[in-house]
Structure 1
Amino acid sequence: MNDVFQITGTIFTARDAAHKKLISEYEKGNELSVPLEDYPCFHCGPVMQKTDKKWNLISAGPTTSIRMEIFESEFMDKIGTRMFIGKGGMGEETLEALGEHGGIYAQLTGGAGSVVGEAVEEVSDVFYLDELGIPEAVWILKVKEFGPLLVTMDSHGSSLHEDVSKQIESNLKRVKKEITEEG
């Protein structure tokens, strides 16, 4: 935990609807032509523009990952993805699944979508665009030095998000006690 890194290679985007769709397609026995289990999943609804039959990424800021909490354990089981990138962290069920599958969750700074987008060298493919729309489609992206990313949840059961929450709760109790004693 707390490792900082960048990615050069292939990643894919998947938000709520994409998670649901990919799990459904897996259950039907349908496979994508891209091995998603080999790539990190970026919780992102990118802003795209099409020019001359080519998609260009305009902005790619992370979306709030806790929205995918209801899917991530099953997603790891069925799709095979072991690395997730987003903002805000995830919950206990995902943390347990990261342990079972040897995965990590990495935090990406929010609010810098156009800067993050500069790391995208190419939009390789897109799936479910007509059905889900641009932000929810599964976008396959080739990236170079994508990040910096901070590992905030790991396969050893560590969660920076949980640690920070506990520290905040402790600080609040201390401050409340101090205020009560002074008053």
Structure 2
Amino acid sequence: MSKIKMNVPFSDESIIKSLQAGDQVLLSGTIYTARDAAHKRMVEQINNGKSLPFDIQNQVIYYVGPTPAKSGEIIGSAGPTTSSRMDGYTPTLLEHGLKGMIGKGYRSPKVIESIADNHAVYFAAIGGSGALLSQRIKSVEMVAYEDLGTEAIRKLTVAEFPCIVINDTEGRDWYQESKEKFRQNS
């Protein structure tokens, strides 16, 4: 199976709509890090009519809290965190232009519906491979909420960052489809 190479941020919606649950993707370009504490602050800023610390339009957020970089490295281990921790904040961010998320694990039915309604996509990165994933990160820049430590928002430049489409713009769920396929073949 070939991998789909894509640039981020996404340049138009047709690119996102072309992705199907189960597609293997290599992302290159700019993504941002944010976990639950940063998501809470971003939604509070939106609810208070304030601007976000970065332009969220057509952007991808990676749910990661990287470990400190070792000497000579730009970032430490950068494996995905559990995505459901962001579910309470995700619909608001999608409504304001976010088009992709990278994490691990299931999303709630409400988030899957919001992903489809807002023509976005949820990718999974392989948990436990943080040291390998960090090799795909070419630069790191602090953006906001530095007081949150590893949960601060960072701008990452990535090259062929590997992930799998879990939830697509049609509301499909690769986890559910895979379980069903397994049951049928058992």
Give TM-score, length-normalised by structure 1: 0.81
Q: Give the conservation status (yes or no) of the 8 Å contact 2:70–2:76.
A: no
Give the number of equivalent residue pairs.
Answer: 165
Higher helix share: 1
Alignment of 1:20-169 (within 5 A): 20-32=40-52, 34-49=54-69, 56-78=74-96, 80-130=97-147, 132-134=148-150, 136-147=151-162, 149-166=163-180
Q: Post-superposition shift, 1:56?
A: 2.6
Q: Give the conservation status (yes or no) of the 8 Å contact 1:86–1:107.
A: yes
Q: Give the conservation status (yes or no) of the 8 Å contact 1:89–1:105.
A: no
> Considering only aligned residues, what root-mean-square deviation do their CA atoms show, in Å?
2.3
Gap regions ≥5 residues in structure 1: 176-183
Aligned partners of 1:95, 1:137: CA distance in 2, in Å?
25
Aligned partners of 1:23, 1:165: CA distance in 2, in Å?
33
Q: Give the conservation status (yes or no) of the 8 Å contact 2:104–2:126.
A: yes
Aligned partners of 1:16, 1:161: CA distance in 2, in Å?
23
Q: Post-superposition shift, 1:30?
A: 2.3
2:30 aligned with 1:10: yes
Q: Post-superposition shift, 1:73?
A: 1.1
Q: Give the conservation status (yes or no) of the 8 Å contact 1:12–1:138.
A: yes
Q: Residue 12 of structure 2 corresponds to which residue in structure 1?
A: none
Gap regions ≥5 residues in structure 2: 1-20
Task: Look at both structures and tell me which one has the larger radius of gyration over its CA atoms.
Answer: 1
Instruction: Give the match's secondary structure for 1:133.
Output: helix
Instruction: Give the match's secondary structure for 2:107.
Output: coil
Q: Post-superposition shift, 1:75?
A: 1.9
Aligned partners of 2:135, 2:23: CA distance in 1, in Å?
22
Listed one character per residue, the Cα deviations across residues 85-138 of structure 1 (whole Å, up to 9, x for unaligned) are 1111212111100111101111111101111001111113331012x222x111
Give TM-score, length-normalised by structure 2: 0.80
Taking only the aligned residue pairs, the percentage that are identical comes to 31
1:34/1:74 CA distance change after superposition, 3 Å: closer
Instruction: Give the match's secondary structure for 1:61.
Output: coil
Structure 1 segments of 4+ aligned residues over 3 angstroms from their partners: 164-168
